[in-house]
Structure 1
């Protein structure tokens, strides 16, 4: 009954207010260029960190390394370039949502996104949103969400960027970006190819990473066309095709290989009316993998899921200071695989977002969401957020939410071991933040608490493994960040740093969960003078336990480690229409022997040379 009432209220409010509201020019502009409007407007009380395009285009590292050195996220990486899983505020990878132009792209098989299958070169920005976001972004947005945004600009321009790089372990990377626009049409395309033997030396041993080669290619293509003053049509597409050998451990060789393909296409129609804005999205997502236990044979297992999505939203000013955004969405998931039959799932959701701004100092948000799922009952979700501008330099933020994660196809149907009796995970959380800005410095301090029930965990069941809703966990801690920029004549200095203290414990044992460090910190120092720039990155990751007993032995934990990278850049050419940059980066400058996952050594000191041509 609650679901029916909520659906009715959304449609009723929309029909009543459609004839009453006015629109403003800023809202119109945002609707044209930004696909995920709710990230900008309905997150005043949340912590947001933006990684801009200048960082993404100049950094030749993987997406995992970009986030590892520029955020509080902790990553489990099964050897360099292998499967990479994030931990957000001590939650697991399935509790971190990845949002592509406003839609959730987490795998319906594993519940997570492998960050080594995402190329960042064609994204205008990446936004890290801390705190629960299940009301706005659905299943999996428990600890936080990562937002990948393609921007279409309807200004007259034609820009191109070609990048070539070569590095240690015979690593080759080629990318090309092109962006064109005028007052009616906007088009951008990004092509990327990377190939690496990835046969780095295991420090302090005579072994090498013998089965670690990888190669992949990706395409990002986005098109926007202004049909009329009131209608804009946009098309987004992303393709990734990759092949990886799966590294073994320090003591065990591997012959495994993994092939994966991801295709995402979304058509979006925006209508900018006099009294309301509306937006319709239609999308098709496909994920497909093949796993070869022995790459020298033709035997493999596979999994495949097609996702079909329809999403309708509206932006309405109920009264002068009160904004209302109803969202209606329908998803259909169709799976197949060698370890389960042909499962499918239907999901209908209704969401209501409210934003009240009674004065320039106060922002209040309250949101509700109800899903109707063909596989199980989903809870009614809510979230609230408050922001108060104490002064021009000091802001307070508070948010709280109820969030969830639904079982994946693997959780439910995997043979042997799937559990059809699973229910969604549920979590409650609260976050208090402070933001201080003074001249060229910005400081953020956040404290958070998360309590999760019905956590889905795979456990031994005789000779097999199976999932069950068993654990209750709590996560709490603090996060701090400091950004400082200073320009003195032609000299520019910058400092960016992040620190996180995280407790993530099983409430039955009061033990820290595995692969959650108590302490993680990073710092980035950069200096630029005319055509020369240099930077230093430093990362500290505390000890993590790999068994529930929290023992600190060589077979029970992974030691803390510190890692330093160094880079420099020189502009060979800089005119109004052309620019050529050459750069050199040294990773693991001090040749530190370290592991990110137990018994899987990471690379020794390595180099990368890059040349980039903008025209």
Structure 2
């Protein structure tokens, strides 16, 4: 399968003259309607497909270099977990077309097992979002979206890259649509021996290879201007070997398999709209304590979900939205310390939105979740946008959010605690957006407090989770964007800086893996002959223990990447990419250095 993308790419280079005649693009349908609504009172960071290909190795690199997220990664391409605004990986929600994909067992998403090149675009929303997305949307959310277009004919996007450490990344995306019907086929494959070394630390990434493949199919049918039915599905299969420090150590590996499907009916008329979703997700995990033997533990989970958003606009500039949701979750384990748990979840939310003239927008919402054997808090949110001046916009968002205990927290045997309460948080942020011609500056100070945090602690003989600590985070994010057109050329500058103070209120010590300072930025220059980009990331001192021990902390680092894309023909581009061009020695997780200078060369065909 790994050669399919190369053959398809070569084939496309010879057949670009046969590409379909371009027609006017009609409406583009995106499954996550709630994300669009959130943009009026919160910052949304959007990453296009072209920007994803600046970091095509994995999702960790995209989030690390193009967003304020801190990604803790046990070596390149290995198990990875995010931290945003000082929260944990379990307090970050990952959504696939608006459907949560965090693990039922751990409550978090392994960033490098989600995939990357199957999606049309990715969005990141800082701040709480439990009103729209339920459990886990505390510090922020990552949105992986597919879109369907109509009236565009036949088109495709083929990409293949080969790089250092025998790394292969490839994807194929084919679209065909008319004014009534839309189809999309996408597949992606990545693998790497990942056998890099860092001589300064006497480190070799032994047993670090990985492989991931995925296949997706989307289709849509437009009955009329107000009714569209569309379907998304995705299958994935991943393999990760876990690095060892010495050759004689026992080598382990981890296999994941997943299936996702979503049926979405979108209805709209002058005064009423309805968005109905039916989703089924399945995840399977198999762990091999010795790669030469059969699996030692395993587990699988299933999620069935029904979501509905009904909106009324009978009164001018006033929108009423009723959001309802039902989930059935179940799991089973194989020698994994878990029984076979099940639970049902329901939720209802009421959202009111009002536009006051041309300058003021407000929204308010409440939500109540109904979860078997768990007493969940009443959630609320309030948002506002004020156009204070032609160049200055204020955004305010206040919300209460939560995270329910995972299956591992409740049912792990021995040690699970069925009496756990949900974590809950209160957050406030105040966005200040300044815009002058093609330059935009956004300053977003925030405060977040989390209570009843779930923490596994040693008991008399075993580890058990308890609701213990409270934590608070505060700081600010600064985003800068600039665009200029110089003749036939284009210049784009994007940057993000975060200042974060995050402390355990009991110990008054900083939380682990939360750098106080982080900066990322990208400069791109595009011409008709190609493009060039320069990308940088600075990460400040990062503690790896709960006692702020500087001897074990990760040192500050600055990593620079660069790349060039050369237009060989109207439909074929050659890309050359260099990562960590100054050979910076850096880590995102203690004991696991990231690679030194490495390269990739790619071909991309769009037709």
Q: TM-score, normalised by structure 2?
A: 0.93
Deviation by residue 1:76-111 (Cα, 9 ceiling, x = unmatched): 001111111110111001101111112222111111
Specify the alignment match of 1:84 in structure 2.
Answer: 80
Specify the alignment match of 1:19 in structure 2.
Answer: none
Specify the alignment match of 1:113 in structure 2.
Answer: 109
Cα distance in 1 between the residues matched to 2:506 and 2:477: 26
Cα distance in 2 between the residues matched to 1:60 and 1:204: 27
Which of 584, 589, 597 in structure 1 is aligned with 2:589? 597
Conserved? CA contact 1:152–1:186, under 8 Å: yes
Cα distance in 2 between the residues matched to 1:539 and 1:175: 26
Cα distance in 1 between the residues matched to 2:30 and 2:527: 34
1:376 matches 2:368 = no
Cα distance in 1 between the residues matched to 2:361 and 2:275: 24
Give the drift of 1:132.
0.7
Conserved? CA contact 2:204–2:245, under 8 Å: no
1:431 matches 2:423 = no
Give the drift of 1:209.
1.1
**Secondary structure of the equivalent of 2:150?**
coil
Q: TM-score, normalised by structure 1?
A: 0.91
Specify the alignment match of 2:13 in structure 1.
Answer: none
Cα distance in 2 between the residues matched to 1:47 and 1:261: 33
Which of 141, 144, 147 in structure 2 is aligned with 1:145? 141
- 1:31–1:130 Cα change, 3 Å: farther
Alignment: residue pair count: 581
Cα distance in 2 between the residues matched to 1:284 and 1:346: 14
Specify the alignment match of 2:169 in structure 1.
Answer: 173
Structure 1 unaligned spans of 5+: 1-28
Specify the alignment match of 1:564 in structure 2.
Answer: 560
Cα distance in 2 between the residues matched to 1:497 and 1:310: 38
Structure 2 unaligned spans of 5+: 1-24
Cα distance in 2 between the residues matched to 1:568 and 1:149: 27
Which of 443, 446, 449 in structure 1 is aligned with 2:444? 446
Q: Summarize the alignment of residues 440-589 of structure 1 with structure 2, pairs less than 5 Å apart.
A: 440-553=438-551, 556-574=552-570, 579-589=571-581
Cα distance in 1 between the residues matched to 2:272 and 2:473: 41
Q: Summarize the alignment of residues 243-322 of structure 1 with structure 2, pairs less than 5 Å apart.
A: 243-249=239-245, 253=249, 255-273=251-269, 275-322=271-318
- 1:269–1:153 Cα change, 3 Å: same
Cα distance in 1 between the residues matched to 2:535 and 2:271: 50
- 1:285–1:567 Cα change, 3 Å: same
**Secondary structure of the equivalent of 2:470?**
strand
Which of 151, 155, 167 in structure 2 is aligned with 1:155? 151
Q: Which 10-residue stretch deviates more, 537-546 or 441-450? A: 537-546
- 1:251–1:601 Cα change, 3 Å: farther
Specify the alignment match of 2:418 in structure 1.
Answer: 420
Give the drift of 1:253.
4.2
Deviation by residue 1:563-586 (Cα, 9 ceiling, x = unmatched): 111111100001xxxx11001111
Give the drift of 1:233.
1.1
Cα distance in 1 between the residues matched to 2:247 and 2:432: 47
* Aligned-CA RMSD value: 1.8
Specify the alignment match of 2:229 in structure 1.
Answer: 233
Cα distance in 1 between the residues matched to 2:603 and 2:184: 21
Deviation by residue 1:250-282 (Cα, 9 ceiling, x = unmatched): 899451100001211011122334542212211
1:189 matches 2:207 = no
**Secondary structure of the equivalent of 2:351?**
strand
Conserved? CA contact 2:206–2:245, under 8 Å: no
1:203 matches 2:195 = no
Conserved? CA contact 2:523–2:533, under 8 Å: yes
Cα distance in 2 between the residues matched to 1:104 and 1:209: 33
**Secondary structure of the equivalent of 2:596?**
coil
Give the drift of 1:42.
4.2
Q: Summarize the alignment of residues 290-369 of structure 1 with structure 2, pairs less than 5 Å apart.
A: 290-337=286-333, 338-369=336-367
1:223 matches 2:219 = yes
Give the drift of 1:526.
2.0
Specify the alignment match of 2:3 in structure 1.
Answer: none
Cα distance in 2 between the residues matched to 1:109 and 1:480: 35
Conserved? CA contact 2:241–2:253, under 8 Å: yes
Give the drift of 1:30.
11
Q: Which 10-residue stretch deviates more, 467-476 or 39-48? A: 39-48
- 1:243–1:269 Cα change, 3 Å: same
**Secondary structure of the equivalent of 1:296?**
coil
